Homo-oligomer: A and B are copies of this chain.
Amino acid sequence: MKNIAIIYFTGSGSTGRLAEAVHAGAASVAGVQAELIAIAGKDITEGRYSNDAVFEKLSKADAIIFGTPTYMGGAAAQFKAFADASAGVWFGQGWKDKIAGAFTISAGPSGDKLSTLQYLFVFASQHGMIWAGNPGIPSFMLGKTDGHNRLGSTTGVMAQNTTPQGQPPVLDPGDQLTGEKYGQRVAEVTLKLRS
């Protein structure tokens, strides 16, 4: 049984919806256990994140998928506080050879989301992880209408927050599908590489 941890921060809840889609996809693969781990603001003091239980879980994962909204052109500060708190793990290269992946969401179709995914790639590379991106030509280029990878993102998953202000967060159906397929993808790569 392989373990996939999906660690994410959500502000308004929309990144949480996307995390659930990715989780559903990963959990649908036989031989894989997937767990959602939310980064809590209360674990951050003066900008520093601390939660031993979370790092304990991550140390046992075969794959870690990182999720964050794109705030002001990059990963949310709350996510970054978690990332900075992994410096000790980094120095011991404790996550080396784990599979990595990522997803992000913001209001615009492009919206500088690639900046966030590129950062997460650098972060995972510092940890010696192996990156599984988001393969697949966008559906619309194949004449399909299911919305898979409708924004055209290849390094990880991008979604667009289209929830009207003040409403409970909902995902675009194409983005939901993209998240699910991505979870499945990471799970399959993990089964292969960590066997």
A192 vs B44: C-alpha distance when bound (angstroms): 38
User: Once the chains bind, are B84 and A72 in contact (CB under 8 Å)?
Assistant: yes
Kindly identify which residue among B44, B74, B123 contacts A83, using a CB–CB cutoff of 8 Å: B74
A121 contacts partner chain B, Cβ-Cβ < 8 Å? yes
Please name the residue on chain B nearest to A124 by beta carbon.
B133
Which residues of chain B are near A49, meaning CB under 8 Å?
77
Mask of A105-119 contacts with B, CB within 8 angstroms, 1/0: 011111111110011
Known: A122-B115, A133-B128. A90 touches B72 (CB 8 A): yes
User: Once the chains bind, are B87 and A83 in contact (CB under 8 Å)?
Assistant: no
- Name the segment of A26-34, A52-60, A135-143 touching the other chain: A135-143
- Expressed in whole angstroms, the minimum distance between the Cβ of A160 and any Cβ of chain B is 8
User: Once the chains bind, are B154 and A125 in contact (CB under 8 Å)?
Assistant: yes
A75 vs B113: C-alpha distance when bound (angstroms): 16
- Pairs across A and B, CB under 8 Å, 22 listed: A41-B48, A44-B44, A46-B78, A47-B78, A73-B83, A74-B74, A77-B78, A77-B84, A96-B135, A107-B141, A108-B141, A108-B152, A109-B151, A110-B152, A112-B122, A118-B122, A125-B135, A125-B154, A128-B133, A130-B132, A130-B193, A192-B193
